[in-house]
Amino acid sequence: MLSSNTIVVPSYQRAYSWETEAKPDVTTSKQVNVFLSDLEDYNKSSATTPYYFGHFLFEQKGETEFGVIDGQQRLTTLVIFLSALFARLKQVRAWTEFEETCFEDLIKRRSAYRFETVDYDRQLFKDYVVNQSRTDKYGLKTTSAKRIVAAFDFFTACLANKEEAYLVKMLEIVSTATCTTHPVEDESEAIQMFIFQNNRGKKPSNLEIIKAQFMFAVHLQGGEAKNDLIDVIKDRFENIYQSISTIENKVKEDDVLVYTLQVYFNSLWEGGALDKINKQLSDSNPIPFIEEFTESLATSFRHLTTFFSVDEPRYLAIHSLVTLGGISLALPFIIKAYSFNLPIGQIEELCAALEVLVFRSRIIGTRADLTSRLNDVYAGFIQKEPNVMPSIQPIIKRVNLLKTTTDWWYAYWNKTELDKALQGKVPHSIARFLLWKYENYLQGQGKSGYALMRFDAISEPHLEHIAPQTPTKGEPVAAGYPEYDDDFKNQFIDCLGNYLLLSASHNCSIGNQPFLKKRATYNHLAQQREIQDLSLDSGVWSKELIGKRKTDIITFITESL
């Protein structure tokens, strides 16, 4: 399959998506690890038939050039593994003539590469994997590039101590392995066949499925414009996959598909992407929908790439909303705001309002549905006239209503309910977020002209229990903490008043020490110095001080969020 051919990943295909568990001795379902364990299981077996790599679907672009339509994740991983194997074998001894021929057939002959991944990862693949001329991992712009590097590093580590006999055997298994292939000359036919493929590795995402369905529909009903329409879809999915490679650690691609449905049909109630799209494709002429929706989909990914990439310190409201996480409720509004070309200041204002809703929804946890309370203002957030920007004020007005009203229909997220939710144990991820907000509040008191601190300015933010969960040497009072009775354990240990934001290294260094020793290290953040001030007279960390600090933090939260 590889010998004398060039196999490329077409630009409209998704980039490398297989994941790696870096520790070879850990049992995992990560695809790269499973790839190697499958080979090793075969190596240990008594099988007499060749190892089977599966089925590959290709578009034949020329006599010796093929675009891989299905199977590219396996093929990419195979080339990464072989590159690491050949490198290790060269460390053990010089290649034999047969091994050099294998390398030229499977990896590279002179300047001719047998396999090339998507164009935006192509040079990195050549430099880091095939030629091994690059060793640094800095400046990797896409998640797919990071996955390529992780896979190569994993295979390199696994092979580092392997003896010659093992390496030769593994090369023999791979070089004599079999597969089945199906090359087609018609690109649209190749892509529609993807729908019916069952293959090792990741299950196709809904986004991949609808791409194939769109291609299939165009193939059947595109008429004379079929090839032009397929080119349009290809170009849009090329842009989509480039966006995915940048933001997939921030948002799931199938979620963006749902957000696009919500924007396209102007309703927060939209969901069930495949069912909705299949219904549209069952129309007698689905081509206009395909053209419009793929454009909307590419637009959503483009705007979310912009949104998640904003890192200028002055745009703290965007950073804050992203830091909070769990923001699926907010993203359809965000996509609309960017689509309307709203000024960045208004987008910041919108983010600050949406953060209130997301936070209250997460911390209060009521079964009441926010969608029904927001859908009307979402549907009204439209551009009614050309060149007239829609107003975000109805959305902000609705948020303010939800924060303050006692009307039963809207009152599930008001200040009273928020105060109740904050009295007990707060999830650690949210507690870290709230203490970061509290830190900026403390730093800003009585000061002006100083930039607020970003969450990522703290190296690996950890949540410290000031009074430790386990009493120091079993003698809490002597260590400066209250008696660990049931009241203290149930009401004070896991509450905001006893939580403190520290860097990971700081948290590890202080451990489970007496209060005065821990307090002596609390001199980096304003909230750490606040603990010193609160306990200055007593020298102990009491229930009263925990309660006072908890009240102060909750007062700040209920007034600002």
Q: What is the DSSP string of 474-487?
A: G-TTTTTS----HH
How far apart, in whole angstroms, are the C-alpha atoms of residue 306 and residue 300? 10
Average pLDDT for 374-384: 96
Which pTM was predicted?
0.84
The answer for residues whose C-beta is within 8 angstroms of residue 331's C-beta and 6 or more apart is: 251, 255, 256, 259, 304
DSSP secondary structure letter of residue 65: E
Q: Are 6 and 116 in contact (CB under 8 A)?
A: yes
Give the pLDDT of residue 385.
Answer: 87
Q: Model confidence over 7-59: pLDDT tens digits?
A: 999 877 888 999 999 887 777 889 999 999 999 999 999 888 999 999 898 98
Mean pLDDT in residue range 301-313: 92
Residue 195's pLDDT is 57
pLDDT score of 189 more than 50: yes
pLDDT of residue 209: 85
Query: Under DSSP, is residue 306 helix (H, G, I), strand (E, B) or coil?
Result: helix
Alpha carbon distance 31, 199 (integer Å): 12
The C-alpha atoms of residue 408 and residue 387 are separated, in whole angstroms, by 39
Least confident of 154-158, 224-228, 413-417, 427-431: 224-228
- Band (pLDDT 50/70/90 cuts) for residue 197 is low
Task: Say what the pLDDT of residue 192 is.
Answer: 61
Give the neighbor-by-neighbor strand order of the sheet with 65-70: 115-116, 6-8, 65-70, 52-60, 178-184
Give exposure, 404-437, as e/b (b: 16+ Cβ within 10 Å): eeeeeebbbbbbebbeebbeeebeeebbbbbbbb
pLDDT digits (tens, 9 = 90+) for 72-90: 999 999 999 999 999 999 9
- Give the pLDDT score at 474: 73
Number of H helices, E strands in the chain: 24, 9
pLDDT value of residue 87: 97
* Whole-number average pLDDT of the chain: 91
Q: For residues 434 and 359, what is the distance between their CA atoms, to the nearest angstrom?
A: 10
Residue 174 has pLDDT above 90, yes or no: yes
CA distance 53 to 69: 16
In this predicted structure, the answer to whether residue 202 has a pLDDT above a threshold of 90 is no
pLDDT at 386: 84
Asked if pLDDT for residue 408 goes beyond 80, the answer is: yes
CB 199 within 8 A of CB 71: yes
Model confidence at 223, in pLDDT bands (50, 70, 90)?
confident
143-159 and 226-247 are packed helices; what angle lies between their axes, rounded to 10 degrees? 70
Q: Does the pLDDT at position 362 exceed 80?
A: yes
Candidate from 51-65, 179-193, 320-334 with smallest mean pLDDT: 179-193
* Collapsed DSSP state (helix, strand, coil) of residue 374: helix
Q: What is the pLDDT of residues 495-525, one digit of tens each?
A: 999 999 998 888 888 878 899 999 999 998 9
pLDDT digits 0-9 by tens, 78-127 = 999 999 999 999 999 999 999 999 999 999 999 999 999 998 899 999 99
Of 247, 266, 84, the residue nearest 159 (C-alpha): 84
- What are the φ/ψ torsions at residue 5 (nearest 5 degrees)? -120, 165
- pLDDT above 90 covers a percentage of the chain that reads 68
- pLDDT above 70 coverage of the chain, percent: 96
> Is there a contact between 413 and 360 (Cβ–Cβ < 8 Å)?
yes
- Asked if residues 395 and 333 have their Cβ atoms less than 8 Å apart, the reply is yes
pLDDT for the residue numbered 522 = 92
Q: For residues 450-483, b (16+ Cβ closer than 10 Å) or e, as one string?
A: eebbebeebeebbbbebbbeebbeeebeebbbbe
Q: What is the pLDDT of residues 415-460, one digit of tens each?
A: 999 999 999 889 999 999 999 999 999 988 866 555 678 998 888 8
Output Rg (C-alpha) for the chain, integer angstroms: 29
- Give the tens place of pLDDT for each residue, 244-282: 888 988 999 999 999 999 999 999 999 999 999 999 999
Tell me how far apart the alpha carbons of residues 248 and 116 are, in angstroms, rounded to a whole number: 22
Q: Where are the alpha helices (DSSP H) in 225-343?
A: 226-247, 253-264, 273-281, 287-309, 316-324, 331-339
Are 158 and 36 spatial neighbours (Cβ–Cβ below 8 Å)?
Answer: yes
pLDDT score at 199: 42
Q: Comparing 37-41, 134-138, 168-172, which segment has the lowest mean pLDDT? A: 134-138
pLDDT value, residue 447: 62
- Measured CA angle at 127 (ends 123, 130), to 5 deg: 110
Q: What would the mean pLDDT of 394-416 be, rounded to a whole number?
A: 96
What pLDDT sits at residue 187? 66
